[in-house]
């Protein structure tokens, strides 16, 4: 709703009330229409202030209303009515003015913001555009280039930047509503002609065509298949080239196309999935989040390689004391420099002081004795990790949580090395750990709810999307990655090239295909692990199933990827990131096929996508069947935030629903018939059950999953 009072004699004060962010629900919109009418018809009122209750102006449209039949007054005419008012209307922006909230403020004649307020038009991140005049008013107010930047990226800006750009007229450190009322009194009798943004011409850059061409090219490149950023550019172009009314029509047309696209649905699904993972529950229905997390003041990290360094930085940036332990003196020195550098650069970027003093370094494990929580990140070697856990259990004070960053090893096995297995959980970060948003919190059969709650809470404090998952080889993300990678290797054996596979996956929307990714992370890591587990490099059959040793064979040639300047591609020099096609690899593949009597055939993008993605999705269904993830939304969040799955495709499980479960099942059956020695292609029981149940929408899968679990 919107509350109306008269203040300072002649100012009508309208306060939006819809906690927590005063979203523009139908009731709020109705309230604004009514109160504006009331203020304008009150002869005592000379000017109007619109503010938000509880220190927040307005967080935008009510996302819960998306996809439902709209009731109440629409946003566009409501904002027009505000703009057309014959008394000055001032927006008092505290907290947030986002999306529809900022569009409402742009309909006002003046904007006063608190110095801590944040403004933005983030619609693009939900697959939409600011369709209440935002794409038409903002370029008129601040010019085309700046408007393009804000609208196509959806980034939030500070009040200071908004002032520089000319979005707000004044920034205050004082009470914003008081400042706005004072301002409203001062402009009460002034002409509004120049203040109605929609009536002003849009500044036309001289090189309009070149400007839009350049921006469009850049946007298409970074959007990697997302259509909303492209539509945003088209809408701003309309502002620059058409009269306002026609520009608004174009904005509405583009919005309708986006609204009905699968991409907007996928992005909105992701938005809710990301929120829901915080309310974690086990597939059995038991909840962890009813348990209270224990406060963590001092953390420790063991092993300062790639991951340990990133984790140390992420912990320190959260404000925790961190003891960082590394046994190799040389590594310790290098790590110290690297961590300090990362902290300094991060602080500079965020405009805060670096927190170097929060981190202390040691080569002695005794240094972690008084830590509240320890994260182990030594080599991926079970024997070594077991020893470290035994030592930690002896050294740490009672009650210290012991966490491991292992990518795949058994948490329960590590827990059994300690005095208190209930304090052991996995905290699986992704590289680089101070940047990547995902954290898998892995609970073993003996992990206590308090330990899981503490790890989840710490992850959240570190700004991560934390997802609680069960204990199995590879947990959720890496377990699903295995069949995906395996198919990519098989496709090479059957006639594809790394370029063909990568191109298909990158066109689908992944930031990097399998082979460019593998060159980046280093082929030697996986190969070393496979060697350690006793797998011979040349064998094409393992445990009775088809296996491709291609990656190991490439490693034997000293081709470890970017770090050696050679991998699945060639690089100008070690460490370079520009991958070029390598004829040597093509010869290597031909020789390999000849040696094993394999006949190369033509493979198209469709087959690459179906085999790589459907085998990954199939494993996702197995994970749901096994109760390792609480629901499809958790799997999707893991893939979107940790594995570069294109957000506008919602995540693998959502995508399966979009493709159609029958189709996924039919293609898996087809490929499994063609490759009966590949178990990952055998359709999972849950997928069959879902199809047999009429392929319900994703939010109804849980009913079928529950039935499967109850029969186990
Ligand atoms: P790394 O090889 O870069 O670093 C491991 C570090 O541990 C080395 O500096 C080594 O000297 C140190 N170390 C070995 N034994 C130690 C001990 N007893 N006490 C203290 N330090 C010791 O390895 P990386 O890549 O950082 O991986 C660490 C862990 O994180 C592994 O379990 C790995 O599977 C996991 N992980 C790795 C990811 C990656 O992308 N590299 C991603 C997610 C998890």
Tens digit of each residue's pLDDT (9 = 90 or more) over 251-270 = 999 999 999 889 999 999 99
> Using CA atoms, how far apart are residues 684 and 681, in angstroms rounded to an integer?
9
pLDDT band for position 173 (cuts 50, 70, 90) = very high
Which atom of ligand 1 is least distant from the CA of 365?
Answer: 19
The pLDDT of residue 540 is 85
Model confidence pLDDT, tens digit, residues 287-303: 666 788 999 999 999 99
Answer for the pair 1, 27: CB distance below 8 angstroms, yes or no: yes
**Average pLDDT value for residue range 266-276:** 92
The pLDDT of residue 542 is 82
The pLDDT of residue 521 is 87
In order, the DSSP letters of 352-399 are S---GGGEEEES-GGGGTT-SEEEE---S-HHHHHHHHHHHHHHSPTT
Active site residues: 103, 123
pLDDT > 70? residue 535 = no
Which atom of ligand 1 is least distant from the CA of 376?
Answer: 29
Model confidence pLDDT, tens digit, residues 391-442: 999 999 999 999 999 998 999 999 999 999 999 999 999 999 999 999 999 9
Ranking 432-441, 521-530, 570-579 by mean pLDDT, the lowest is: 521-530
Ligand 1, from 306, 391, 522: best to mutate by most atoms within 8 Å of Cβ? 306
Nearest-CA residue for atom 9 of ligand 1: 305
Answer for the pair 192, 109: CB distance below 8 angstroms, yes or no: yes
> Using CA atoms, how far apart are residues 171 and 57, in angstroms rounded to an integer?
14
pLDDT > 80? residue 280 = no
Nearest-CA residue for atom 28 of ligand 1: 377
pLDDT band for position 446 (cuts 50, 70, 90) = very high
pLDDT > 80? residue 284 = no
Round to the nearest angstrom and report the end-to-end CA distance of the chain.
50
Nearest-CA residue for atom 22 of ligand 1: 303
State what percent of residues in the chain have pLDDT above 70.
97
**Average pLDDT value for residue range 629-651:** 96
Task: Give the relative orientation of helices 605-625 and 632-642 as an angle to the nearest 10 degrees.
Answer: 130
- Label residue 531 exposed, middle or buried (CB < 10 Å: 0-12, 13-18, 19+): middle
CA of 435 to the centre of ligand 1 (A): 17
Task: Give the relative orientation of helices 514-521 and 523-532 as an angle to the nearest 10 degrees.
Answer: 80
Nearest-CA residue for atom 29 of ligand 1: 377
> Using CA atoms, how far apart are residues 74 and 255, in angstroms rounded to an integer?
14
Mean model confidence pLDDT for the chain: 94
Cis, bond preceding 432 (omega within 30 deg of 0): yes
**Average pLDDT value for residue range 497-520:** 96
Residues with CB under 6 A from ligand 1: 302-308, 325-328, 331, 377-380, 384, 388, 405-407, 429-431, 521
- Classify strands 2-7 and 11-16 as parallel, antiparallel or unpaired: antiparallel
Q: From residue 456, how far is each of 196, 317, 466 by CA, in Å?
A: 48, 17, 6
> Using CA atoms, how far apart are residues 109 and 168, in angstroms rounded to an integer?
10
The pLDDT of residue 577 is 87
Ranking 145-159, 279-293, 303-317, 547-561 by mean pLDDT, the lowest is: 279-293
Hey, how many other C-beta atoms are within 10 angstroms of the C-beta on 193?
Answer: 8
Residue among 619, 340, 675 at smallest CA distance from 483: 619
pTM score, whole prediction: 0.91
State CA 156 to chain mean position distance. 16
CA of 376 to the centre of ligand 1 (A): 8
> Using CA atoms, how far apart are residues 316 and 434, in angstroms rounded to an integer?
10
**Average pLDDT value for residue range 667-680:** 97
Cis, bond preceding 482 (omega within 30 deg of 0): no
Residue among 251, 240, 175 at smallest CA distance from 203: 240
Architecture per CATH, 496-595:
Orthogonal Bundle (1.10)
DSSP state of 261: S
CA of 418 to the centre of ligand 1 (A): 20
Nearest-CA residue for atom 12 of ligand 1: 303
Strand-pairing partners, residue 90, are 49, 110
CA of 487 to the centre of ligand 1 (A): 28
CA of 113 to the centre of ligand 1 (A): 47
pLDDT > 90? residue 206 = no
What values do phi and psi take at 3, rounded to 5? -100, 145
For the chain, the structural domain boundaries read 2-259, 298-474, 496-595, 605-711
Nearest-CA residue for atom 31 of ligand 1: 380
What values do phi and psi take at 48, rounded to 5? -130, 145
pLDDT > 70? residue 283 = no
Which atom of ligand 1 is least distant from the CA of 408?
Answer: 34
Which atom of ligand 1 is least distant from the CA of 304?
Answer: 9
Ligand 1, from 374, 378, 390: best to mutate by most atoms within 8 Å of Cβ? 378
Answer for the pair 111, 95: CB distance below 8 angstroms, yes or no: no
In order, the DSSP letters of 660-702 are -HHHHHHHHHHHHHH-TT-GGGSPPHHHHHHHHTT---GGGHH
CATH code: domain 605-711 is: 1.10.1040.10
DSSP state of 649: G
State what percent of residues in the chain have pLDDT above 90.
88
Which atom of ligand 1 is least distant from the CA of 521?
Answer: 40
The pLDDT of residue 98 is 98
> Using CA atoms, how far apart are residues 345 and 169, in angstroms rounded to an integer?
33
Runs of H (alpha helix) within 509-631: 514-521, 523-532, 550-556, 583-595, 605-625
Model confidence pLDDT, tens digit, residues 577-619: 899 999 999 999 999 999 999 999 999 999 999 999 999 999 9
The domain 298-474 having CATH identifier 2.60.120.560: the answer here is no
**Average pLDDT value for residue range 351-369:** 95
pLDDT band for position 282 (cuts 50, 70, 90) = low
CA of 21 to the centre of ligand 1 (A): 43
Which atom of ligand 1 is least distant from the CA of 325?
Answer: 20
The CATH class of 2-259 is: alpha beta
Nearest-CA residue for atom 44 of ligand 1: 407
* Secondary structure in 3-state letters for 527-553: HHHHHHCCCCCCCCEECCEECCCHHHH
The reply to whether 496-595 and 605-711 are identical in fold is yes
Ligand 1, from 303, 428, 464, 527: best to mutate by most atoms within 8 Å of Cβ? 303
**Average pLDDT value for residue range 70-87:** 93
The pLDDT of residue 285 is 58
> Using CA atoms, how far apart are residues 484 and 617, in angstroms rounded to an integer?
9
Model confidence pLDDT, tens digit, residues 91-132: 999 999 999 999 999 999 999 999 999 999 999 999 999 999
């Amino acid at each position: 709703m919107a509350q109306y009072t008269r203040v300072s004699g002649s100012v009508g004060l309208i306060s939006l009330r819809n906690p927590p962010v005063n979203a523009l629900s139908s009731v709020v919109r109705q309230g604004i229409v009514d109160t504006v009418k009331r203020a304008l018809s009150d002869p005592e009122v000379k000017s109007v202030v619109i503010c938000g209750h509880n220190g927040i102006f307005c967080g935008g449209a009510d996302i819960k209303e998306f996809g439902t039949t709209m009731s109440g007054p629409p946003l566009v005419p409501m904002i027009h009515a505000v703009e057309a008012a014959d008394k000055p209307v001032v927006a008092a922006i505290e907290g947030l003015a986002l999306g529809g909230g900022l569009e409402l403020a742009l309909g006002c004649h003046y904007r006063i913001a608190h110095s801590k307020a944040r403004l933005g038009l983030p619609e693009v991140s939900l697959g939409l555009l600011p369709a209440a005049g935002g794409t038409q008013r903002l370029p008129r107010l601040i010019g085309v280039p700046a408007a393009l930047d804000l609208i196509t990226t959806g980034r939030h800006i500070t009040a200071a930047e908004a002032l520089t750009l000319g979005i707000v007229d004044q920034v205050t450190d004082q009470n914003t509503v008081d400042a706005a009322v004072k301002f409203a009194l001062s402009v009460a009798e002034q002409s509004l002609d120049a203040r109605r943004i929609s009536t002003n011409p849009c500044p036309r850059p001289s090189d309009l065509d070149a400007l839009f061409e350049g921006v469009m090219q850049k946007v298409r490149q970074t959007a990697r298949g997302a259509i909303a950023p492209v539509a945003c550019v088209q809408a701003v172009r309309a502002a620059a080239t058409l009269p306002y009314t026609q520009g608004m029509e174009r904005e509405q047309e583009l919005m309708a196309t986006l609204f009905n696209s699968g991409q907007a649905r996928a992005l909105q699904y992701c938005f809710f999935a990301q929120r829901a993972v915080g309310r974690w529950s086990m597939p059995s229905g038991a909840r962890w989040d009813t348990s209270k997390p224990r406060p963590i003041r001092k953390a420790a990290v063991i092993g300062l390689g790639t991951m340990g360094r990133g984790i140390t930085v992420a912990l320190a940036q959260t404000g925790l004391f961190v003891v960082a332990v590394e046994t190799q003196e040389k590594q310790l020195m290098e790590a110290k420099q690297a961590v300090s550098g990362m902290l300094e650069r991060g602080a500079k970027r965020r405009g805060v002081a670096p927190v170097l003093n929060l981190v202390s370094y040691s080569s002695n494990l005794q240094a972690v004795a008084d830590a509240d929580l320890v994260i182990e990140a030594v080599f991926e070697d079970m024997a070594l990790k077991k020893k470290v856990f035994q030592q930690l259990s002896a050294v740490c004070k009672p009650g210290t949580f012991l966490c491991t960053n292992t990518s795949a090893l058994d948490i329960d096995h590590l827990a059994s090395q300690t005095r208190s297995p209930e304090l052991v959980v996995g905290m699986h970060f992704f590289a680089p750990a101070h940047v990547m948003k995902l954290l898998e919190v892995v609970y073993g059969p003996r992990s206590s709810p308090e330990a899981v709650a503490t790890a989840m809470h710490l992850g959240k404090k570190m700004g991560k999307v934390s997802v609680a998952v069960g204990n199995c080889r590879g947990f959720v993300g890496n377990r699903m990655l295995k069949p995906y990678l395996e198919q990519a290797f098989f496709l090479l054996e059957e006639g594809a090239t790394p370029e063909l596979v990568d191109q298909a996956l990158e066109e689908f929307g992944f930031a990097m295909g399998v082979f460019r990714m593998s060159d980046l992370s280093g082929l030697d890591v996986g190969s070393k692990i496979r060697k350690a587990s006793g797998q011979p490099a040349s064998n094409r059959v393992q445990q009775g199933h088809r296996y491709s040793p291609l990656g190991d064979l490439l490693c034997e040639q000293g081709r470890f990827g970017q770090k050696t300047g050679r991998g699945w591609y060639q690089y100008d020099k070690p460490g370079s990131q520009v991958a070029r096609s390598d004829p040597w690899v093509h010869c290597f593949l031909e020789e390999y096929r000849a040696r094993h009597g394999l006949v190369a055939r033509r493979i198209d993008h469709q087959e690459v996508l179906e085999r790589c993605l459907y085998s990954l999705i199939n494993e996702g269904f197995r994970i749901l069947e096994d109760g390792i993830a609480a629901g499809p939304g958790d799997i999707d969040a893991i893939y979107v935030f940790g594995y570069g799955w294109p957000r506008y495709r919602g995540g693998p499980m959502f995508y399966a629903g979009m493709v159609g479960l029958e189709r996924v099942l039919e293609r898996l059956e087809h490929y499994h018939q063609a490759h009966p020695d590949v178990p990952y292609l055998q359709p999972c029981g849950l997928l069959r059950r879902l199809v047999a149940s009429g392929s319900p929408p994703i939010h109804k899968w849980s009913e079928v999953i529950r039935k499967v679990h109850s029969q186990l």
